[in-house]
Amino acid sequence: MIDVVNLIKHVIHMVVKVTMSQVKKDWFAISEKLHKFYGGKVEIVPKCPVTNIDYFAIWYTPGVAEPCRKIHSGGEDLTYDYTWRWNAAAVISDGTRVLGLGNIGAAASLPVMEGKALLFKYLGGVDAFPLVIKERDPDKFIYIVKALEASCGAVNLEDIESPKCFYILDKLQQILDIPVWHDDQQGTALVIIAALMNALKIVDKKIDRVKISLIGSGAANIATYRYLKVTGADPKNILAVDSKGIIYREREDVESLQKENPWKYQIAVESNAEGVKGDIAESLKGADVVIAASKPGPGVIKKEWVKEMNKDAIVFAAANPVPEIWPWEAKEAGARIVATGRSDFPNQINNSVGFPAVFRGVLTVRARKMTDEMFVAAAHAIAKYSEETGIHEERIIGSMTETELYVREAIAVAEKAMELGYARRKISRDELEHEVRALIERPNKYMEMALKAGLIATPPPL
């Protein structure tokens, strides 16, 4: 007798695979065509009036000499009053680890950095500008970023290979007097932690009790490990897996990690209290949570391995464009909550829910640093907003279309910066909310106006 249920599942599976393959192909073609049509995605437009030639005597010479004199005599912080620096973020990369493309170089990474700048503006009201640097030496790269500090109020590092990215971030956080973060580390970890907070609420488990498997030990999961600890997870209950298998203290390459990758070495000496050895399959036995940020699937995580996890398992498969395991496979294997990095599946783990609002918060109060406490404040704000607006097994985190999420998150970050004494500017909650909301909503209003007036061209037929 034909198993009708399994036959239907098989047909649906094949249709979805074919459809997604076609959509993927179409998005590449459409993106290439529109990038060329528009000649990029962002531009600089005036924010001050120029209605006659006299205005140039104000905005440029001779009048501009006066704010220059004020800054020279009063200190660099006055640039926040007289220039765009109060709202400017540099999106900086060397192009050594770009999306799923790998080491494609600085020039080829520019479309990604420009896209990031667009997201900063459209979602957070931040004037971000892309900068790609043809420099592979980490110390020279750091020198260049430091030299650019006076031009911006914050730095977003992007698509830099591991472990170099950890060294660069740590060093820049020490020497810059403005916030700096690496979105592939903190941005990814932020949304994972926020989503996990709500997933654990749904399955009624505590973060300090759950057993967690981290699949992949690059920038994203090394940062996730760090912030799991900050938010209460017990490192002894965490197993991390890299290309050589489960990381444990006695593994033969661990001592060399102490010098080559001290961030991974810390995982080796702190985690895996029982000294479990093996591969991904072994790491999932008895796990409550798996967080995968490794290589595109499917098949990196197999159904039979998920079956070995504890009841009400949580599976985050964040690889793009194809997750380590298809969501329906994880569900069929017994996982209760599944999240991926894709917008066409429920529970998208999307960096874009994090970085625009975090930068909106630090820039609004002109913060000097980005700290773990500010990170945790952002995660709690995302989780709380998502819970208030309704969480369930297929919605553990809000989406990038929800403006109020960004407002709440930005306020939480800004307030924490003021509380910790890192803000150059201290304002009331009412003032803060008014400014944040206005800046986040402004790009949408401009987009409507620009499209209606023809300032942004209508795209060609696709």
Place of tokens 């399955």: 203
Contact 457/38 with Cβ under 8 angstroms?
yes
- What Å distances lie between residue 400 and 20, 128, 413, CA to CA? 21, 18, 18
CA dist., res. 425 & res. 446, Å (int): 27
Look up residue 461 and give its two tokens: 């037929």
| Burial of 457 from C-beta contacts in 10 A (0-12 / 13-18 / 19+) | exposed
CA 265 to chain centre: 24
CA dist., res. 154 & res. 180, Å (int): 6
91: left (phi over 0), alpha (psi -120 to 50) or beta: beta
Closest CA to 160 of 89, 90, 93, 221: 93
Tell me how crowded residue 24 is: count the other CB atoms within 10 A of its CB: 11
**Which residues, at least 6 apart from 300, have a Cβ–Cβ distance to it below 8 Å?**
215, 280, 292, 294, 319, 324, 325
In sign, the C-alpha dihedral spanning 198, 200, 204, 205 is: negative
Give the strand pairing for 180-182 and 154-157: parallel
Which residues pair with residue 91 across a beta bridge?
Answer: 130, 156
Residue type, 426: K
Show which residues are catalytic: 60, 116
Contact 214/240 with Cβ under 8 angstroms?
yes
- What Å distances lie between residue 194 and 105, 190, 208, 349, 384, CA to CA? 32, 6, 15, 9, 9
Cis peptide leading into residue 138 (ω within 30°): no
Look up residue 58 and give its two tokens: 């104000």
Look up residue 142 and give its two tokens: 């750091």
CA dist., res. 438 & res. 27, Å (int): 32
